[in-house]
Chain A
Amino acid sequence: MKNFRQTCLLIKRIMCKPVMLIILLLVPLFLSIVHFLPERRQSTDIVSGFYIETPDSYSATFAKYLTGTSTGFVFRQYNSEEELTDDVAAGRLDSGYVLPSGISESMIKRDNSRSISVFVSPGTSFQEISSEAVYAALLKTYAADMSALMLAETYAADSPGISYDYIHEYISEHFDTYITDNDVFTISSTLSGRYISSETIIPGTFPVNILIFITIFVCGLLGLQNYMKDLNDGIYSILPPKGRASFCAKNIAAGIIPAAIINIFTMLLYSGYDKAPEVILFIVSSSAAAFIMCILFRIAFRSYRIYMTAMPFIIICTVLLSLLYWLSLK
């Protein structure tokens, strides 16, 4: 009974610390934020982007053909290169194509003076396939002009009086007729329409258990700090070593108990009352682990000053190790 009363008094004392109150409010606050966050959705679409640096008379044809003919890929046009590269780098786009200024002239003259920059990230999977679609769209856009220029430059001299404009007009007209009348090679398949993407909700991966363990552990460390400070101030000097050890355990428990109680209620609200046995078991085991770790730190750090110096590191290392553990589980 005396031990219980002493622990209650120590709890009352530690609860007056502003740091303790902040830490205790941390878990309910974080879990409320996580609870009210919108669900993360992931589309099964494979999206590639393109950006035309200097749009010209060919740009619309290219964009229309590229976005209109693909059935699996989604090609999205961007208004700035920066936005495009950001989305590729962040993994939101499979790949990004930047058509530089003068690409039309370079394609028609076939001088290879301009190249299309293809931005890929380590997460890119389908760049080789999407670049086939991009090149098919480029060829569709420029084939007639390429042919007209070649003919005008090489053979027009053999037919004086025939202008480039006539050649261009003739070829463009016939070219479109062949394409629209399907007088060229095609493939026929059992597939029709476009791919209809489905959106999947990504399950929440917020590491609740790790956050709860860290808060319980930090509260235990604050309890130990109280004991070390009292010891340093000579408050326990009249007690025998056994009595000091008992106060050490009570101080640590005084830090852990409020954290455990608050976390049980928060976790029950977060995960549902049907998981009560699992939640209680987890909190009890976390509290026991935190208690043992604090006792070990008491054995390792004999001086209050060293303990105070080491405390931020203990917390940082615990957070980093927990993060590492969480990443290993993913």
Chain B
Amino acid sequence: MFLRLVRTDLKRIKYYSLYMILSAFLLLTICLCLVIKVSDHLYSTNDRTTTLSIGIVMSADSNLSQMAYAAIADMNSYRSSCDFVEVDSVQTAMSMLDEGTLFAAIYVPDNIINDIMDGTNTPVEVYYSDTGSINTFILNDLFRSTSSMLGISQAAIYSVQSIGRSMNLPQNIQNALSNDINSMFLKCVLDRTDNFVIQQINATRAANTTDFYTCAAIVLLMTMCGTVYISFVQNVPKSYVDRLHSVHIRLPHRMISSFISIFVWEYILYVVIYLALACVTVFTGSLHVHLNSCGFLFGLAITGLVSLTVTLISFIPAGVHGCSLLLITGFIVAAYLSGFFVPETMLPNFAKSICRSSLLNHMAHTLCKLICIH
């Protein structure tokens, strides 16, 4: 008798499933547009990243200065923030600063390298057009960091040379010591980026924000589409229920049978969405969804959870509207606490801890790892 009930339910649910697939595609289109839009809006765009025009005044005949300038201009930190312009004289640079064509001007005194070598240390002068903006202070930090690296190296070199003299080391050893300490600090400063390992992170803690939201949209879509089946469970005539009672088919049997029917169609929906997203990936390249067996298998777990939730809510005697409202409201709260709307790291502290142990969040992350391949 139970098998007959399952067969009947599978037949009955087909009527609702056509609407569900149609609705799913409509929702999928809207969700995909949202996923792509949301990724653009997560971080505020910073207009301070434009390069600043910096005038540099130095004697053209100083080859060493030119080499130092070329080395500095080639540094990533300067390349990303400064646009160097060579200026003939300090007067020209000053007038350009007044006109606003330059953001800052650097005056490099003649023979600066020789001065550094013999310990005179004539300072490099920097002039700014605007002394109140954040750009000026950031640029100032950059200049100071570079100059302090040189100054610190100098202080260490002078100290070592001094101890070399006080230890009465032979002259050839002192020369070798000077060379070694010079090259040690030169290597340290030139290779400083080797000390840093850049790690890209984002607010969702997934490899890619768009991928995470795509996976979250799949789970969201499947649950929202589950509302269709509330009518399937609720719209059963009382006479039909009484007839089932007479053949010893009670509530648990009906629940299991409904669960099986919902599970089958939710999984069909999952497969359809998965295939559609893989097609979108192939044709547009804006997503990274790829077909693989793990993706299809993990779909069974997602479908199981969604179907169970929908089945349990559908059997609450609150009418179609009441159950729909409960499912949607409950799911929206759960989705919020799982970082589906506001990314995990942007959630309030209480929600952040819930999010990290949330089943929905783990599901979206696992799905993301399984189906989104870069």
Contact = CB atoms under 8 A, between A and B. Distances in A.
A305 B231 contact: yes
A123 B44 contact: yes
Contacts of A281: none
A309 B231 contact: yes
A330 interface: yes
A107 to B, nearest CB: 8
Nearest to B320: A308
Contacts of A71: 137, 140-141, 144
Contacts of B202: 89, 121-122
Most chain A CB inside 10 Å of its own CB: which residue of B177, B324, B345: B345
Interface string A248-282: 00000000000000000000000000000000000
Contact of B159 (A147, A310, A311): A147
Given A194-B137, A309-B231, A317 B169 contact: no
Interface string B217-247: 0000000100110010001000000000000
Contacts of A316: 27, 224, 328
B275 interface: no
B99 to A, nearest CB: 17
Interface stretch (A2-10, A52-60, A283-291, A320-328): A320-328
Contact of B177 (A87, A131, A151, A197): A151
A174 B164 CA distance: 13
Nearest to B325: A19
B123 A186 contact: yes
A171 B156 contact: yes
Given A118-B196, A316-B224, A129 B121 contact: no
Given A187-B125, A191-B131, A129 B141 contact: yes
Interface stretch (B54-62, B145-153, B299-307): B145-153
A183 B346 contact: no
Given A129-B141, A140-B148, A187-B143, A170 B131 contact: no
B200 A120 contact: yes
B194 interface: yes
Chain B's interface size range is 35 or more
A134 B193 CA distance: 11
A187 B123 contact: yes
Contact of A317 (B30, B197, B235): B30
A150 B180 contact: yes
Interface stretch (B31-39, B263-271, B283-291): B31-39
A189 interface: yes
A233 interface: no
Contact of B197 (A87, A117, A132, A186): A117
A167 B177 CA distance: 14
Given A73-B141, A121-B43, A317-B30, A190 B156 contact: no
B316 interface: no
Contacts of B185: 143
Summarize A's interface: helix, strand, loop or mixed: helix
Contacts of B34: 320, 323-324, 327
A91 B140 contact: no
A125 B207 CA distance: 20
Interface stretch (B3-11, B76-84, B253-261, B357-365): B76-84
Contacts of A46: 48, 134, 138
Contact of A320 (B31, B145, B344): B31
A51 interface: no
Given A91-B203, A131-B77, A147 B198 contact: no
Nearest to A95: B198
Interface in B274-323: 320-321
A129 B138 contact: yes
A185 interface: yes
A185 B154 contact: yes
Contacts of A72: 134, 136-141
A136 B152 contact: yes
A19 B127 CA distance: 67
A187 B109 CA distance: 11
Contact of B169 (A69, A119, A134, A158): A158
Interface of A: 19, 44-46, 69-73, 85-91, 107, 110, 112, 115-123, 125-129, 131-136, 138-140, 143-144, 146-147, 150-151, 154-155, 158-159, 162, 167, 170-171, 174-175, 178-179, 183-191, 194-195, 197, 305-306, 308-313, 316-317, 320-321, 323-324, 327-328, 330
Given A135-B196, A305-B231, 12 more contacts: A72-B134, A112-B195, A116-B197, A129-B142, A155-B169, A183-B119, A187-B144, A189-B140, A191-B131, A191-B140, A308-B320, A309-B228
- The 6 A-B residue pairs with the shortest CB-CB distance, nearest first, are A123-B43, A72-B137, A178-B155, A184-B151, A195-B137, A174-B159
